[in-house]
Amino acid sequence: MYPWETIKVPENDSSVCLIHECVKRGHGVAICTPANLTIRNSETSAFCTIINKMDKVPSNLKTFHKTAKTREEMLPLAGFDVIFMRAEPPLDPLMLNFLDSVKEDVFIMNSVNGMRVANNKLYTAVFDDPNNEIIPVTHVSKNKDYLIKTIEESTSEKMILKPLNGFGGSGVILIEKSAMGNINSLLDFYLQNAIGGSDYVILQEYIEGAEKGDVRILMLNGQPIASMKRIPGEKDHRSNVSAGGSIEKHTLTTKEKQLCAKIGPKLIADGLHFVGIDVISEMLVEVNVMSPGGITYMNKAYRAKIQEPIIDFLEAKVMELNAGFNRRAKLRKTVDDA
């Protein structure tokens, strides 16, 4: 994840919330950034920030982050039970090459292959939706002439333009046909300066009702476990909390539940056990697989503890993997003895 000491508002940070739950349960927790991975003698390790054991774990996240003592040490990744990916986009592909070497030894959430195929906004294209019943009409290109033609031919007066590798609402803008005079220079800027070093951009049909906000749904092992409505600020069309949006409670509609049921099996098949999906007017616009947030906001809105089933899931996975390992070791001894 991002460095522990750079966290400015720990009470709103989903990663701090997850770490806090692990420490409360007595688990050892170490943190490293993607830049702190290393290989020595063919063994993949990381320069880790280790959270020291605490006699009493504060219940308040801000106090927990402030009082937690840490130390630095290089540790082998294969010695851990779980690697929980919480790095912010864009994804560093070299980091995945490091993780490839330990993916058979450690449970990684989300899986290396899953992150590889789903780390950007193109992933929604894998869901079969030829009639655009759950996914809005979407174009991805770096051909400016094609993009301009697409805007001109669209039946909608508004479209959404965003960089392929953006996150947190960064770079997302609303374009209107009435302002076509600005499109040429706007596309020049985006195609040359897109976030994450990619010169591809996404052009998406505007969904009616988007001005009222979107819905963030957290999915665990293919099932929705929590949701919230995000409302744009007065002077911004984006509903991301990081962009000034606010949140409200939200109860999933029948169609939103059907959407989750439709994409859930594919998420599990790709090893994407914990994701955040963004839905506007019951249409899927994004799947967030790197570091889906919103846990602390949903906890406050619903007086819930969403981190608990997430860590429950990890503990169950580790028990399952360890049981399989012990069974194989026992059978191997039987064969060796024979």
The domain locations on the chain are 4-109, 137-205, 210-305
User: Which pair of structure tokens corresponds to residue 40?
Assistant: 């020595």
Res. 279: pLDDT tops 70:
yes
Strand 138-141 vs strand 201-205: parallel, antiparallel, or unpaired? antiparallel
pTM: 0.88
Could you tell me the sign of the dihedral formed by the alpha carbons of 32, 34, 36, 40, in that order?
A: positive
Give the architecture-level CATH label for domain 210-305.
Answer: 2-Layer Sandwich (3.30)
| Mean per-residue pLDDT, 161-167 | 77
**Mean local confidence (pLDDT), 56-64:** 97
pLDDT band at 168 (very low <50, low <70, confident <90, very high): low
Cβ atoms 40, 66 nearer than 8 A: no
**CATH entry 3.40.50.20 includes domain 4-109:** yes
What are the tens digits of pLDDT across the range 108-123?
999 999 999 998 778 8
Read off the pLDDT of residues 305-322 as tens digits, 9 standing for 90 and up: 999 999 999 999 999 999
Q: Which of 152-156, 203-207, 305-309 is predicted most confidently? A: 305-309
Per-residue pLDDT reduced to its tens digit, 286-299? 999 999 999 999 99
pLDDT tens figures, 255-269: 999 999 999 999 999
CATH topology identical between 4-109 and 210-305: no
pLDDT band at 195 (very low <50, low <70, confident <90, very high): very low
- The answer to whether residues 39 and 97 touch, using CB atoms and an 8 Å cutoff, is no
pLDDT of residue 189: 82
Average pLDDT over residues 200-213: 88
Say whether pLDDT at 197 is over 70.
no
Residues across the chain? 338
Q: How far is the C-alpha of 286 from the C-alpha of 280, rounded, in Å?
A: 10
The CATH code belonging to domain 137-205 is 3.30.1490.20
